[in-house]
Structure formats: C-alpha cells, structure tokens
Amino acid sequence: MSAKRDENRRPRQAPDDEGGSIPIDPELEAALREAVAAVEDPAAARRPGGEGAPDAEPAAEGGEAVVVREQLADAQDRLLRLQAEFENFRKRALRERQEALQYGSQNLFKDLLSVVDNLERAIGHARESGGGDLPSFLQGVELVERELLGILEKNHVSEIDALGKAFDPSLHEAMAQVESGDVPPNTVIDVLQKGFQLRDRLVRPSRVIVTKAGAPGRNGGGDSAG
C-alpha cells in the first residue's frame, strides 16, 4: 500500500522519447490547461483578476477608438444636416428670384393704374366737350404728367438734368452739333428726348443737341482784315 502511495506522489512521466523520459510538473500541466482554455474562450482571459487579462494600454487604445468613431459619426450627421439646409436655402433663393422676375414690378404697375385712370378721364372730358374746352384738357394732361413723374421718383427713377450741362457721353446721346459763339463747345443747348436713371444706373440717355467750335475766322470778332 505504501509503495502505491509513493508512486502516486511521484511526477508523471511522459512516454519514452528516443530512450529518455521527462517528468511533467503538475503546476506546469495546470498552467497549460489554463492557456488552452484561454485560447478556446477569449472572454475568460479578459475577466478581471484572471490570468491573461489585457494590459491597461490596449484598453485605453480601444477607448480612444470608440471616441473617434463617435466624433466621426457626429461630424457626418452635422454634414448631412448642413447639406440639407443648404439645399433648402438654394431652392428658396431660386424661388424668390423667379418671383422677383415675374412680379417684382407689381407695385410700380399698381401705382401706374391711377395715372391711366386720370388720363382716361381727361380724354373723356375732351370728347364730351367736342374739343372746345382745350385749357381744361391741357390742365388734366399736366396733372397726369406730374403724377407720373411722382410715381417714377417714388420708385427711384429720376430725370437726367441735361440742358445747359457739359456733354457727357455716359448720360447723353448727341443727335446733332451746331456752331454757337455764345455757348462753349460741347454744351447741351437742346433736349430732344429726356433721359432717366434708376438710382445710379442709366435707363435711357438724353438725346440732345450739342454745340461745337466755330470754323476758323468765325469766332465772332468780325471779319478778318483784308
């Protein structure tokens, strides 16, 4: 009996290997079993306090990766929302531009309707009188003209003051040139058609007659000596 107990306490021996035997330590065998179990069940190796638990540094790197993924997802979400807002703004701006092109002159035309009404009244009154009340007709037309100019001024359209001014090709269109000894050359002496500006933009140039320098010997100083 004692011989068998001594035999159980002895380390087990590996099978013969080329004429020799190597004893297997029980602690080593237990460590090998734990290693095999860790490979088969990785979750067991990550349990707190267990052998084979990951180091602190890999865990920290994993946390940083999670933060980076969250930041990336947040940035993508904000980008999508920004793209949607920009697309809505683009559509709204396009719609407002189309409406401005189609209906931007609505207020101007609304003001002009009263001018049309007054002009129709003046014409109707002249027809009823058989053309005999010419002064009243002229007075009505003058009222319509003043009203029309007031509407233009309200909409920032102003008449170009050209008469007596120096010729300006950016505002005036010269229809003819005449010699004049009383007015300096390139001076507007007559306006054939009024010009208008919308704020600082030219709508229509003034069609004018401009003076030019006289021919030699015709400077107003009398005949040349013979």
99 within some domain: no
pLDDT confidence bin for 60, thresholds 50/70/90: low
Stated as kind and residue range, the H or E segment containing 207 is: strand 206-212
Q: Which of 6-10, 102-106, 146-150, 159-163 has the lowest mean pLDDT?
A: 6-10
- Asked if residue 165 belongs to a domain, the reply is yes
162 domain-assigned = yes
* Inside any domain, residue 98: no
Q: Please provide residue 148's backbone torsions phi and psi, each rounded to the nearest 5 degrees.
A: -65, -45
Kindly state whether residues 168 and 185 are assigned to the same domain: yes
pLDDT in tens, 3-12: 444 444 454 5
Helical H segments across the chain, by residue range: 2-9, 26-40, 42-45, 56-103, 106-128, 134-154
**Which residues are bridge partners to 179 per DSSP?**
212
- Taking the model in full, what pTM does it have? 0.54
**Mean pLDDT across 132-156:** 88
Q: Which amino acid is at 127?
A: R
Q: Tell me what the pLDDT averaged over the chain comes to.
A: 78
Decide if 151 is inside a domain.
Answer: yes
pLDDT digits (tens, 9 = 90+) for 22-37: 555 666 666 666 665 6
Q: Provide the edge-to-edge strand list for the sheet that holds 201-204.
A: 157-159, 196-198, 201-204
Q: Is the pLDDT of residue 18 over 70?
A: no
* pLDDT for res 122: 85
Residue type, 4: K
Q: Looking at the structure, tell me whether residues 129 and 117 fall in a common domain.
A: yes
By the 8 A CB rule, do 80 and 73 touch?
A: no
Domain that holds residue 175: 158-216
Question: Do 122 and 162 share a domain, yes or no?
Answer: no
Q: Determine, yes or no, domain membership for 28.
A: no
The last residue of a domain, from among 118, 139, 155? 155
pLDDT of the residue at 218: 54
Q: What is the pLDDT of residue 160?
A: 95
Neighbours of 197 (CB within 10 A): 16
- Residue 36 forms part of a structural domain: no
Q: What percentage of the chain carries pLDDT values higher than 90?
A: 39
Number of compact structural domains in the chain: 2
CATH at 164: 2.30.22.10
